Structure 1
Amino acid sequence: MIGRLQKYSGIPIILLIFSLLFYLIFAYSLERTDFIKLVCLYSALFFFAYKLLSLYKHDFKFLAGIGLLFRLLFLIAIPNLSQDFYRFIWDGRLLTQGLNPYLTLPLEWISQGNAPFAQAEVLYDGMGALNGSHYTNYPPLSQLCYGIAALIADNSILGAVIILRSIIILADIGTLYFGKKLLTFLNLPEHHIFFYFLNPFIIIELTGNLHFEAVMVFFLAWSLYLLAKGQWHWAAGVFGLSISVKLLPLLLLPLLLQYFIPFYKAQPSRFGKAPKLLLFYTLTITIAFLTFLPFISSEFLQNFSQTIALWFQNFEFNASIYYIIRWFGYQTVGWNIIGTVGKILPVLSVLGILSLSIFRKNSNFPQLLTAMLFAISLYFLLSTTVHPWYLAIPVFLSIFTTYRYVLWWSLTVVLSYSAYAETNFSENLALVALEYLIVIGIFIFEIFQHKKVKTCHLEN
């Protein structure tokens, strides 16, 4: 017993104490406008997490315990880096009133002075006029979580926050469980799951700021584990649930092509697995569709598609390639060409993902996961809007690969919060450029390193 206590004494306990203190400051004493404080706390927490993981990578229970403890510190904190949770609670309370959240705007209710539930004005002020003037774009399983929070805490914003945060923490525990099992199945080090579970980016953006990418990643982790074990029927259903939390996993479906039909293997019967692939796609889409079914109408389809289109053609934040194209647009035509480019870039993303699906060898599971990582990274590099919490999927996928550029991205993405450093929202494009130069630079270095290693293996 004494020996075990000594194991956690000295420098490790100091690291743990400072981590706890900094997370508490982050949760309860940080304003989004205080960019310098935010960056300092965030960077320090990354350093502490790195050191704790280095020291205790073979002590799974200890790292899992402190990862859970860090999350619980946020339990009663109101999110301070994002106001999206106000819209979550709004949508959930509409559901509990028997109203379809996809069919009305918060602005309509408030402007008519016809509040549909308690604290409507507070929630509208919290989400902001921009959010309140657009139709919701959160898929049904997310809406179910919001409804649960509204049902339990129908007259308390803090109460709803606690319920939403509890769901996210449970989802992260599920990701820890299935992520560990998948790493073991692939003969990879189990402690790699802590690149996700102990990552300050994941803790702050998901648990702290109540983004339901955590639930999406949980279902994705579960589905990938089932797929690796050969239980593809169940994997398809769970994959559909992941799509019903956030639509992003839809982009990964084409990459399963070679996993089911290995193009680059000399197997005469390889196309015999095509029906299995089609059934996987059918089950996945069917499950996702069934969750949408209670909400579907022509008005829903119009509102939902209109809101999705806004993210490509109207909104811009923390972009990379798009900002370069936008600059050329200003130089040539004299105005912002997002309306045109926003239609072209998604097409290029899809074409790029299809190319990865067809021309890259993805027939075994490690290759598949690496292809998924590249596909989702390509999508974000071509996006007009990349909010920090979007990176949850690539961070998770990266733990099953030898690529670490996304972990650096989860660190440098904090630079995007410089946009909130002043009262008037204004991005610091120099810092955005620095973020992507670091990430793309590390990615290129890792690509060359992998080619070098592969060449050495071939020569030997």
Structure 2
Amino acid sequence: MLAQWKHHRFSILFLFIGVLFYWSFAYQLDRTDFTKIITLWAALFIVSYKIIQFNPNNWKLLAATGLLFRLVFLFAIPNLSQDFYRFIWDGRMLLEGYNPYLSLPEVWIAQGNAPIAQAQELYVGMGELNGSHYTNYPPVSQLCYFIAALFAGKSILGSAVVLRTLIILADIGTFFFGKKLLKAMNLPEKQIFWYILNPFIIIELTGNLHFEAVMIFFIIWSIYLLHKGYWYWAGIMLGLSVSVKLIPLLFLPLFFQKFVMNKNGGFNKLSLTLGLPKLIGFYSIVVFTVFLTFAPFLSGEFFHNFKRTITLWFQTFEFNASIFFVIRWIGYQIVGWNVIETAGKILPLVTIIILLALTFFRKNRATPQLITAMVLGICTYYFLSTTVHPWYIAVPLSLCIFTNYKFPIVWSFVIILSYTAYLHPDFKENLWMVGLEYISVFTVLSWEIYKNTKASKRMPITSSN
């Protein structure tokens, strides 16, 4: 017993510190206190690093630690994001039989006849901006919100507990399939803990109730199934991930080589004959799965409202952008106004072109190559986006642990600089902090591209899976 204590005393110490700091983050933090935010943030990254360093092969202890840190947040109201109020609103509307895509919270509040409990409190919580736009959360997310309404239809805290429980269960699933995928790819299984014990993941997803956790669970499950050859089930899981958040649609072109290329990384008549039907089948399953989940909500009004909300993200909203902020500054110098409406139409097209280049001009046949392309593809999208909320980075972070690229881990640390916007009463960004964030990310990315390019020339990937 004494020997075990001596061996694990530092791990226990850091675990205890981690629980205290997460508790402080969950229950004592004001988001305008950036000094406290960044101090706790940095300390928690150190805590996670040291716990992994002390126990690199003790996956049971590391997994239990990740679960314990998440459970600290169980009864907390999110303090860095207001989105969960809209989640609860949508779920309660759905429970009452109303299509959440067809009405605005502000209209219900103005009329004074909202059919759900705590309507005024939820509206105030989500804010006028959120309450004045139609919901854009896809059906599987809405199902999660419905479950929260079903079990806690009259308690905001109770709803938060239900939503958080679902997110924790999703992370458990990600741990399970992520560990199996790492093993199947002959990679160190301990790499899963750079996701499971990452403070960014614990705070932004479990703490702030962002459903990227559920989307990631389906993505990792899908990749594992595809790696094992079960492409039809992989299509269903990828379709479900799209129905949590639309972002996995970006990955669809990247699967082309996985199905159509032969084991030697080339094309021939046999590979095309066998691969194209599977590829078409895979895409069909993904699309059909998405259609089935959306089917109960479909109408002409739904398409109008959904498109209107999605357009706002590209042509109106702007936050924590990188390349767009440079373009915006150039636009002010040349034409004298914000060029977001024009840039918001062009930048998505540039993203599509780059994704197609990754699809056809980069080797993506093997699973490690495919996942690397997914990391580079989604990060390209974010680098060119007008809006990059912190929790968006969860997707490239979850994928990078299966690759030689680790810059999303750095990004998950420096993304906290975007929260300096809360220091201003009108939520105004500090562009110096945004600049520091992206300089850090692009510096590490550039170094990793250089390093991995040199390594690939010396030892190309030969795996056929």
Q: Secondary structure at the match of 2:243?
A: helix
Tell me how far apart the structure 2 counterparts of residues 292 and 266 of structure 1 sit (CA, whole Å). 36
In structure 2, the partner of 1:40 is 39
- Whether the 8 Å contact between 2:260 and 2:267 is mirrored in structure 1 is no
1:352 maps to 2:354: yes
Give, in angstroms, the shift of residue 422 of structure 1. Answer: 2.3
In structure 1, the partner of 2:185 is 186
Tell me how far apart the structure 2 counterparts of residues 353 and 162 of structure 1 sit (CA, whole Å). 38
Tell me how far apart the structure 2 counterparts of residues 380 and 452 of structure 1 sit (CA, whole Å). 26
In structure 2, the partner of 1:372 is 374
In structure 2, the partner of 1:314 is 316
In structure 1, the partner of 2:463 is none
Tell me how far apart the structure 2 counterparts of residues 232 and 27 of structure 1 sit (CA, whole Å). 40
Instruction: Spell out, residue by residue over 1:195-238, the C-alpha distance to the aligned partner (whole angstroms, 9 max, x if none).
Output: 10000000000000000000000011111111110011111111
- What letter matches 1:122 in structure 2? E
- Whether the 8 Å contact between 2:324 and 2:386 is mirrored in structure 1 is yes
- What letter matches 1:63 in structure 2? L
- What letter matches 1:271 in structure 2? L
Instruction: Spell out, residue by residue over 1:89-142, the C-alpha distance to the aligned partner (whole angstroms, 9 max, x if none).
Output: 000000010000000000000011112211000000000000000000000000
Aligned-residue identity in percent: 57
1:101 maps to 2:100: yes
Tell me how far apart the structure 1 counterparts of residues 301 and 455 of structure 2 sit (CA, whole Å). 54
1:215 maps to 2:214: yes
1:271 maps to 2:272: yes
Give, in angstroms, the shift of residue 5 of structure 1. Answer: 3.4
Which one of 286, 291, 296 corresponds to residue 298 of structure 2? 296
Give, in angstroms, the shift of residue 256 of structure 1. Answer: 0.1
Please give the TM-score of this superposition, normalised by the length of structure 1. Answer: 0.98
In structure 1, the partner of 2:51 is 52
Tell me how far apart the structure 2 counterparts of residues 316 and 55 of structure 1 sit (CA, whole Å). 41
In structure 2, the partner of 1:13 is 12
Tell me how far apart the structure 1 counterparts of residues 455 and 365 of structure 2 sit (CA, whole Å). 20
Instruction: Spell out, residue by residue over 1:10-54, the C-alpha distance to the aligned partner (whole angstroms, 9 max, x if none).
Output: x22221111111100000000111111101100110111111111
In structure 2, the partner of 1:433 is 435
- What letter matches 1:62 in structure 2? L
Give, in angstroms, the shift of residue 7 of structure 1. Answer: 2.4
Tell me how far apart the structure 2 counterparts of residues 206 and 280 of structure 1 sit (CA, whole Å). 29
Q: Secondary structure at the match of 1:58?
A: coil
- What letter matches 1:5 in structure 2? W
Tell me how far apart the structure 2 counterparts of residues 225 and 34 of structure 1 sit (CA, whole Å). 41
Question: Does 267-276 or 84-93 show the bigger shift?
Answer: 267-276
Instruction: Spell out, residue by residue over 1:254-308, the C-alpha distance to the aligned partner (whole angstroms, 9 max, x if none).
Output: 1000010117426441102100000000001100110000000000000001100
Instruction: Spell out, residue by residue over 1:55-110, the C-alpha distance to the aligned partner (whole angstroms, 9 max, x if none).
Output: 11100000000000000000000000000000000000000100000000000000
Tell me how far apart the structure 1 counterparts of residues 103 and 267 of structure 2 sit (CA, whole Å). 55
Gapped regions of structure 1 (runs ≥ 5): none
Alignment of 1:50-449 (within 5 A): 50-262=49-261, 264-265=265-266, 267-272=268-273, 273-449=275-451
In structure 2, the partner of 1:4 is 4
In structure 1, the partner of 2:455 is 453
Q: Secondary structure at the match of 1:426?
A: coil
Give, in angstroms, the shift of residue 173 of structure 1. Answer: 0.3
Tell me how far apart the structure 1 counterparts of residues 109 and 34 of structure 2 sit (CA, whole Å). 32
Tell me how far apart the structure 1 counterparts of residues 457 and 232 of structure 2 sit (CA, whole Å). 38
- What letter matches 1:261 in structure 2? V
Tell me how far apart the structure 1 counterparts of residues 370 and 455 of structure 2 sit (CA, whole Å). 20
Instruction: Spell out, residue by residue over 1:400-423, the C-alpha distance to the aligned partner (whole angstroms, 9 max, x if none).
Output: 001110000000000000001122
Q: Secondary structure at the match of 1:245?
A: coil
Give, in angstroms, the shift of residue 456 of structure 1. Answer: 4.2
Give, in angstroms, the shift of residue 351 of structure 1. Answer: 1.0
- Whether the 8 Å contact between 2:316 and 2:340 is mirrored in structure 1 is yes
Question: Does 93-102 or 259-268 show the bigger shift?
Answer: 259-268
Tell me how far apart the structure 1 counterparts of residues 3 and 298 of structure 2 sit (CA, whole Å). 61
Give, in angstroms, the shift of residue 453 of structure 1. Answer: 2.4
- Whether the 8 Å contact between 2:175 and 2:196 is mirrored in structure 1 is yes
Tell me how far apart the structure 1 counterparts of residues 36 and 100 of structure 2 sit (CA, whole Å). 37
- Whether the 8 Å contact between 2:368 and 2:403 is mirrored in structure 1 is yes
Q: Secondary structure at the match of 1:210?
A: coil
- What letter matches 2:313 in structure 1? W
- What letter matches 1:68 in structure 2? L
The number of residue pairs the alignment matches comes to: 457
Give, in angstroms, the shift of residue 168 of structure 1. Answer: 0.2
- What letter matches 1:143 in structure 2? Q
In structure 1, the partner of 2:23 is 24
Tell me how far apart the structure 1 counterparts of residues 55 and 211 of structure 2 sit (CA, whole Å). 29
Please give the TM-score of this superposition, normalised by the length of structure 2. Answer: 0.97
Question: Does 330-339 or 12-21 show the bigger shift?
Answer: 12-21
Tell me how far apart the structure 1 counterparts of residues 237 and 411 of structure 2 sit (CA, whole Å). 28
Q: Secondary structure at the match of 1:101?
A: coil
- What letter matches 1:381 in structure 2? F
